[in-house]
Structure 1
C-alpha cells in the first residue's frame, strides 16, 4: 500500500517487534493446522511471508514515487490422503481463517489424487536452528531514502557525457519467512534487504545508450556508496558510445560476472527435479558425469552468515546443508524438493524453493588478463530476450558488449546475437576470472568461452 509522505515520516518504515510477530504467526499457524485437521485433513502446512519497508524513486532530483509497504500473505495447504488443496489469505480474523480452511479443504476434495503429494518425511525436518544474522534493519525513513537516491543520481549526472537520467532508486525491506506443518515443525527467519541503483542515458550521433549500476546487501552499511554507484553507472553508459558493427563470425566470448551467473541459473534449471521428472532437461542422466572442465568447482553454502539466500530449512521444512553441486567438473547432485524426489525415487536435497548461495571457485586471472588471453573476440556485458531452450540446451540471445583485438578492448558493439549450446558452452569453458561479483546468491567471476557464433550486421 502507498501512503503520503507525511504519514511515513514519524517512524522508521522497517520498525518491527520480530519476537512478538513470530509468536503471533506461530499462534495463527497452529490454529489453521488444528482447524484443518479437525475437518479431516491428514496433513497440513502453512507458509507465511510478512514484508514491510520503503521504496523511493527519484528522477532529475525530483521524487517520482514513494511507497510504504506492509504486506501479509498466509498460504494454507491441506492433504486428504494424496488429494491436495491450497488457499491463501491476508484476513487473520477468526472468520477469515475459517473461510481459508474451508476453501482449502473443499478444493482438496475435488482434486485428483497424486501419489507423490504430501509433506516431506518427518525425519527430514530441520532440527538445529542457525542464527544466520540476516535481519539488520537500518531504521529507514522517507527522508533517508530520498537523500540516498538523490545523491546517487547527482553523482551520475555530474559526468559531462551523461545526457539524462532514467532515475535512481533506494529500497529497504524487512521480511519474516515462516513455515509450520502438522509434523510439529515450526520455524521463522527474519531478514532485511537493502538496495540502491541508478540508470543513466548518454547520447552520440548514433543515438542514445542506457546503462546502470546497483548495490544490494542484507546490511545497509555494506552497500556501495551512493556516489560510487552513480559514477559507475555513468562510466558504463559512456563506454557504450561510439559503437561499431561487426561481421558474423565464430569467436571466443568473455561473459562478465553479471552475464555468467545467468549460465549458472541455466545449470540449476537443468538439474531441478521438475525438469528431470518431466524429462524436459538438457542435463537428463547427468548425475556423476563430467559436464564442465575439471577446474570447475561450484559449491552451495546455505548457512553463510548474512548471505543473500541463506536459510537452515527449505520450503518443505527439510534441513539444508553445505554441499558441492559440481566438483572437479562432475555433477554431484540434482536439486530436489520432497515432491520431485518422490517422482524420481530419490531423496530430497533441501532445494524446495531453489538453491542457496552458490559460489564458483575462481582462477588466477583478472578481467584484464582474460581479455588478453582471449586475444580476439567479444566481451558480453548485456543480454536480452529469452532464447534459452532448456530441453535441448540451445542458447541464442540478443547481446551487446565490446569487441577485442590483440588483447585490447577496441569499441562497443550492439544489435548482435550470440548462439551456442549450453552443453558445449559448459564443456568449452576456458577460464574463470577472479573479478567476483558478490551482488547475487550466484557468486562468480567472468567466464571465458572457447567459441560461440556471433551474428552481427551482414
Structure 2
C-alpha cells in the first residue's frame, strides 16, 4: 500500500469502520449489507488575466450503507464517522428497507464472483504542490495562451487541480477491498477577438500521475490556437455530409454505445440495442475492448461497485456486439450474468487505425470536422441523435473555414454502421479511449 500520510484517516481505520458497520447491521437483523467508506482532499487554483481568481481546498469523507431485509433494500449515508452516527445510519437504512417493496433481483452479487486479491493498478501518485507553485503553473499556462497570438485578448482562466482519495468497499459475504487514487489536471479557457467577433475555446490535460500531464505551456498554446481558429465562423447549407468527430468528441460516441448497451436501459426497454447481442452493429474493422487493469489508467479498477472482480473482455469484435454492460442487479433483471460494470465501464478502448487527424481529413475529402457539440439531444429508445455543433468545413482534405450555429442529426444505428475509419490520434481523458472517428454521413442543418 503506498504511503498515504496526508489523509485524515489511515487505510486500516477505513477498514475498521467498514467492519463496524457490517457487524452492527448483522446484529440489527439485516440479512445482508454492503458499505463504502471514502475520504478525499485536494486543491484547485485558478488564475485569470494574471490575477489569482480562486483558491479552493476540498476535504470530504462519507460512508454509504446498503442493507437488505430479505428482498427489501434500504440505503442511508453519513459524513460523520463516530460510532453513534454509524449505528444511526445502519438503523436508518434498515427502517427504509422495511418500507420498500420486495424485489426478487435485489441482493449482493454471488460470493464466487467477488474480487479476491486484486492487482496493483498503480493509481496513486500524489502531487505535492503548494498554492504558490500552483499559481505559478497557472500563470505560465495562461501566459502561453496570450503569447500564442495577438488575437487572444481575454481569458476565462487557467486552472491547476490536484486531487487524492482512498476508499474501502466491503460486504457481508466477506469481501473487502480498496486503495488510494489520485487525479490531476491543467486547463485553460481563452477568448480570441477580431473586429466585432469573439470566440472562446479551451484545452485540458488530466492524468493520475502529474509527471505525465502535458506542460502548462502546451495547454495554454493549444487553447489559444483553437480559439483563434474559430474566428470568422459561418453557417453551412443544409445537407448530408461526411462528419469527422475529433478525438475528444469521439469518446462521446463510445459513451452512447455504453448507455444503449447498459443493463438499466435494456431492462427498462429504453434502448435501440435490445436483443442485439451477437448482431452486427458496426463495420468489420471495428474492435472495442474493455481493459480494466491498465496500470495508472484513468478508469482502471480491480472490482466494480458491487465488489465483482473486473476482467479484460471484448465488447465489439468484427463489428459484432459481444456483450452488454451489466451490474449484478441489471443482470438479474435480464436473466444474465453480471459483467462487472456496476458503476460504469473501465477503460473502454476502440482499436485505433493507421491515420492521424490530417490523414482522416484527407480521406474524408469534403465534409465537416466536428470540434464542439451543445445540448444532449439523444433518444436512446430509437437512436435518434440531434445536437448543436461547431467545427470546420473541409475541402480537398484541408480546413477552409470555421463553422458555427449548425445542428447535426442522424440515428445512432446508422452512425455506428457508418463508421469509415478510426484515427490513431487518441486522447485519454476518462473511461473511453479513442482517436477521431469518421462517419460516412450525417444531416447538417444550417442555412
Same fold (TM over 0.5): yes
Does residue 416 (structure 1) correspond to residue 406 (structure 2)? The answer is yes
Maintained 8 Å contact 1:18/1:190: no
Summarize the Cα distance change of 1:143–1:19 in structure 2 as closer, same or farther, 3 Å threshold. closer
SS in 2 for 1:229: helix
Larger deviation: 150-159 or 39-48?
Answer: 150-159
The alpha carbon displacement at 1:128 in A equals 2.5
Matched, 1:198 2:185: no
Residue 18 of structure 1 and its aligned partner are, at CA, apart by 6.5
* Aligned mates of 2:62, 2:242 — CA distance in 1: 47
Structure 1 residue aligned with 2:120, among 120, 127, 131?
131
Counterpart of 2:263 in structure 1 is 273
8 Å CA contact 1:206–1:242 kept in 2: the answer is: no
> Is the aligned partner of 1:358 residue 2:358?
no
> Deviation at 1:154?
1.1
Provide the residue aligned with 1:30 in structure 2.
Answer: 19
Residue 439 in structure 1 maps to residue 440 in structure 2: no
Q: Quote the residue 1:66 is aligned against.
A: 55
| 1:439, distance to aligned residue in structure 2 (A) | 2.5
Shift of 1:104: 0.8
Distance in 1, matches of 2:168 and 2:381, equals: 34
Residue in 2 aligned with 1:261?
Answer: 251
Q: Distance in 2 between matches of 1:160 and 1:15?
A: 45
SS at match of 2:252: helix
Question: 1:244 offset after TM fit, Å?
Answer: 2.2
- Specify the alignment match of 2:276 in structure 1: 286
Aligned to 1:88, the other structure's residue is in SS state strand
The answer to whether 1:162 aligns with 2:152 is yes
Instruction: Give the Cα separation in 2 of the matches to 1:343 and 1:387.
Output: 28
> Over the residues paired in the alignment, what is the CA RMSD in angstroms?
1.3
Partner of 1:77: 66
User: Does structure 1 residue 375 correspond to structure 2 residue 365?
Assistant: yes
Worse-matched range after superposition: 438-447 or 170-179: 438-447
The SS at the match of 1:101 is helix
1:154 counterpart SS class: helix
Q: Distance in 2 between matches of 1:243 and 1:116?
A: 53
How far the C-alpha of 1:153 sits from its partner, in A, is: 0.8
Matches of 1:282 and 1:398, distance apart in 2: 22
Counterparts of 2:9 and 2:197, CA distance in 1:
55
Q: How far apart in 1 are the matches of 2:167 and 2:317?
A: 31
Give SS of 1:107's match.
helix
Is residue 173 of structure 2 the alignment partner of residue 172 of structure 1? no
* CA deviation map 1:132-190 (0-9, x unaligned): 00101121221121111111111112221101000011110001132000001101121
Contact kept? 1:291, 1:423, Cα under 8 Å: yes
Q: Secondary structure at the match of 1:176?
A: strand
SS in 2 for 1:238: helix
Contact 1:367 1:433 (8 Å CA) reproduced: yes
Q: Does 1:87 align with 2:76?
A: yes
1:174-228 alpha-carbon deviations (Å, 9 max, x no partner):
0113200000110112110010000000112352101001000010000111111
In 2, Cα distance between the equivalents of 1:19 and 1:170?
A: 23
Q: Is the 8 A contact 1:259 1:382 kept in 2?
A: yes
Q: Distance in 1 between matches of 2:9 and 2:373?
A: 45
Q: Structure 1 residues 211 and 222 mapped into 2: Cα distance closer, same or farther (>3 Å)?
A: same
**Secondary structure in structure 1 of the residue aligned to 2:428:** coil
Structure 1 unmatched runs, 5+:
1-13
5+ residue gaps, structure 2: none
**2:136 is equivalent to residue 147 of structure 1:** yes
For 1:94-133, what per-residue CA distance to the aligned partner results, in whole angstroms no more than 9, with x for missing partners?
2211211111111111111111101101111011221000
Alignment partner, residue 182 of structure 1: 172
TM-score (norm 1): 0.95
Partner of 1:52: 41
- In 2, Cα distance between equivalents of 1:349 and 1:208: 47
Cα deviations by residue, 1:24-48 (Å, 9 ceiling, x for unpaired): 0111111111111111100000012
Matched-pair contact (CA < 8 Å) for 2:306–2:342: yes
Query: What do residues 286-324 of structure 1 show as CA deviations (whole Å, max 9, x unaligned)?
Result: 111110001001111100000001011100000000111
Identify the residue that residue 106 of structure 1 maps to in structure 2. 95
**Structure 1 residue 374 displacement after superposition:** 1.1
Of the three residues 323, 331, 350, the one matched with 2:321 is 331
2:212 is matched with 222
